Amino acid sequence: MSIGPVMVDVQGLELTAEERELLQHPAVGGVIMFSRNYDSPEQMRALTQAIHGLRQPPLLIAVDQEGGRVQRFRDGFFRLPPLGRLGELYRENPGMALQLAQEAGWLMASEVLSAGVDLSFAPVLDLDLGVSAVIGDRAFHRHPEAVTELALAYQRGMHEAGMASVGKHFPGHGGVAVDSHQTLPEDVRALVDLELKDLIPFERLIHNGLNGIMAAHVLYPQIDAQPAGFSARWLTGILRGRLGFQGMIFSDDLSMGGASWAGDHSERAYAALRAGCDMVLVCNQPEHAARVVESLVEYSDPAAHLRLARMHGKGFPSRSDLQASRRWRRATALLESCESERWLDMDLE
């Protein structure tokens, strides 16, 4: 059975009979986890084993485990600092901050993989321009060069752990005050302005091993009449064509307010896939997810299947082995020092 183009969610700590049936539908390709699905590392490992065991090739399992405000798995996991904290350290000592970013990427990815989850949608490549409260300290920094360097280090850590990277939110969510979870933001800047700022981290990481990208529900009226996540110009013309990106393109959640302009959920899914997305997310509305899945029962994109196959985690370490490792002890000690500024006195070699 091939993997489908829809990523859905589940409601609790275990799969229901109805969810098992839905996850075996040919249009389903992945599952995203939320805090409501998590009780402990052991419970999450059991849940992910049940999901991976439903079909072959296995469904892709994802989570948003950025750190700071956006960390779905907390109890039993290391409390990761927001990425903006690494940006603050970068201003004081770039070399140390880059080493800490690499350790943060490795630790995040290793712990997520130890719970049986393939992928965290990370790193955030948006700029903290002081405009967007929903981005804020989820971003590394306000300057594109700093974001690029920190994100490259973070990605190196993820790749060392065996996790693919997904940069978000293309082509940049940091220039709008409106929260796309609620309604559709408009960024009135010209393409040249975005090329000089927001697009720089995406372009640099694309040429340095970025595996996936999540598109923003943001309208850039100077560039196209469609929001980025529904825009063939953005996804096929600029991202695939001009920037040469060959990896996986995910939509942001189609249940967000920023996607509602495109019609009902099935119409949103078709619009995003036609524009160039490989996989669309439908979260927190199971009845709409079921309709989207049924509407896409005949949909198939062989190129997307190949890209998706490269997003699965490489190795799922046991939690006991991970926590017994020297690398885990070193990474947690360094990141704890992030919050207390003891890092100033530490030897990071």
49, 19 Cβ separation under 8 angstroms: no
CA atoms within 13 A on the CB side of 325: 16
Cα dihedral across residues 55, 167, 66, 336: positive or negative? positive
Of the residues 143, 181, 193, 305, only one is catalytic, namely 181
Closest by CA position to 104, among listed 335, 315, 342, 349: 335
CA 325 to each of CA 107, 113, 318: distance values in angstroms, whole numbers, following the listed order: 11, 15, 11
CA 254 to each of CA 24, 173, 270: distance values in angstroms, whole numbers, following the listed order: 21, 16, 11
Closest by CA position to 152, among listed 200, 93, 85, 224: 200
9 catalytic? Reply is no
Q: Quick one: DSSP state of residue 264?
A: S
* Residues in contact with 248: Cβ distance below 8 Å, sequence separation at least 6, in sequence order: 164, 166, 211, 212, 213, 278, 279, 304, 307, 308, 310, 311
Q: Give the integer Cα–Cα distance in Å for 168 and 180.
A: 13
| AA letter at 145 | E
Of the residues 9, 64, 118, 252, only one is catalytic, namely 252
52 catalytic? Reply is no
Burial environment of residue 127 by CB neighbours within 10 A (0 to 12, 13 to 18, 19 or more): buried
Number of helical H runs and strand E runs in the chain: 13, 10
Active site residues: 181, 252
